[in-house]
């Protein structure tokens, strides 16, 4: 009896498409998740979370590390403000220390009213009566004044700050061969102090000599005592904040 031939089943060559489709779906989901995690946009994350919830039926938990951009900006501003406040406090304490030390080395002149040390919005200002430094109508430092200014230079040498030395006169005109006007006298007196500071260790690049003549009086020039008060040298140690501000280049407008 002849054997019946077995019916051969038809082989399905398209079964690989099912695995391929699953792989593509998972790969798409992976890249969507990576994109969402790299973005800190809150609204985009909410849209993405809602889409995956509706697709897979599970609630997506928001990662703790994702912070809205607005909150990140506020946090960064808070850190910068805190750092600036701490730096300003340190600089204020440093300027107070400078004022204290100058008060100590010039204590004798402070007591007799020839020197005043004060903190201003620009830094530490030391006002020295001209009679404590110079003879009338002269710009050569006297012997006693030199030793006092040397002590001031020792205080200022390690701080490396900008220093302005400004000469002031009264309103009585001067007309000598050496000083044709109060401009030359006030400038020469400021320069004398600057030269002494340089000779005792201060950096020339930090120093500025200014002659203001009689243009910035502290009182009227009606009496001899008032005129004596206006004849003075002002040494201003600029705080670091003022120094940076004044050194910044100014924008010029060309019309």
Q: How far is CA 234 from CA 55, 86, 123, 133, 238, in A?
A: 78, 30, 12, 12, 12
pLDDT category, 116, cuts 50, 70, 90?
very high
Q: Which residues pair with 127 in a beta bridge?
A: 116, 234
| Highest mean pLDDT of the ranges 35-44, 75-84, 179-188 | 179-188
pLDDT at 127 over 80: yes
In order of their start, the domains of the chain are 19-66 (no CATH), 88-247 (3.30.1330.60)
pLDDT at 58 over 80: no
Q: Once rounded to an integer, what is the mean pLDDT over residues 115-141?
A: 94
Q: Residue 100 and residue 97: Cα distance in Å, rounded?
A: 5
pLDDT at 246 over 60: no
pLDDT category, 251, cuts 50, 70, 90?
very low
| Residues sharing a CB contact under 8 Å with residue 128, sequence separation 6 or more, in sequence order | 109, 114, 115, 232, 233, 234, 235
Q: Which pLDDT tens digit goes with each residue over 131-175?
A: 999 999 999 999 888 999 999 999 999 988 999 999 999 999 999
Q: Specify the pTM.
A: 0.65
Grouping H, G, I as helix, E, B as strand and the rest as coil, residue 167 is: strand
Q: Once rounded to an integer, what is the mean pLDDT over residues 21-43?
A: 71
Q: Residue 132 and residue 125: Cα distance in Å, rounded?
A: 17
Grouping H, G, I as helix, E, B as strand and the rest as coil, residue 128 is: strand
pLDDT-wise least confident of 27-31, 66-70, 102-106, 198-202:
66-70
In the block, which residue shows the tokens 């699953």?
A: 22
pLDDT category, 240, cuts 50, 70, 90?
confident
* pLDDT score, position 171: 95
pLDDT at 60 over 60: no
Q: For residue 142, give the nearest of 156, 125, 128, 127 by alpha carbon.
A: 128
In the block, which residue shows the tokens 């051969």?
A: 8
* pLDDT score, position 67: 53
Sheet with 115-119, side-by-side order of all strands: 115-119, 123-129, 232-238, 163-168, 207-211
pLDDT at 197 over 90: yes
């Amino acid at each position: 009896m002849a054997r019946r031939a077995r019916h051969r089943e038809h082989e399905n060559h398209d079964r690989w498409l099912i695995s391929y489709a699953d792989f593509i779906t998972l790969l798409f989901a992976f890249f969507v998740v990576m994109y969402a995690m790299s973005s800190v946009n809150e609204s985009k994350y909410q849209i993405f979370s809602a889409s995956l919830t509706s697709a897979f039926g599970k609630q997506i938990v928001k990662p703790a590390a994702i912070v809205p951009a607005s909150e990140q900006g506020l946090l960064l501003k808070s850190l910068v403000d805190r750092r600036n406040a701490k730096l300003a406090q340190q600089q204020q304490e440093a300027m107070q220390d400078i004022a204290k030390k100058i008060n100590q080395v010039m204590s004798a002149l402070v007591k007799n009213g020839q020197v005043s040390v004060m903190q201003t919005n620009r830094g530490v200002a030391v006002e020295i009566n001209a009679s404590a430094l110079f003879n009338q109508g002269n710009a050569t430092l006297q012997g006693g004044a030199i030793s006092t200014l040397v002590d001031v230079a020792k205080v200022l040498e390690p701080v490396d700050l900008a220093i302005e030395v400004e000469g002031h006169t009264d309103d009585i005109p001067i007309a000598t061969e050496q000083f044709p006007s109060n401009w030359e006298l006030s400038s020469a007196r400021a320069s004398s102090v600057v030269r002494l500071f340089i000779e005792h260790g201060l950096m020339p690049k930090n120093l500025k000599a200014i002659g203001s003549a009689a243009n910035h009086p502290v009182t009227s020039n009606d009496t001899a005592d008032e005129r004596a008060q206006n004849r003075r040298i002002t040494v201003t140690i600029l705080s670091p904040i003022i120094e940076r501000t004044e050194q910044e280049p100014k924008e010029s407008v060309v019309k």
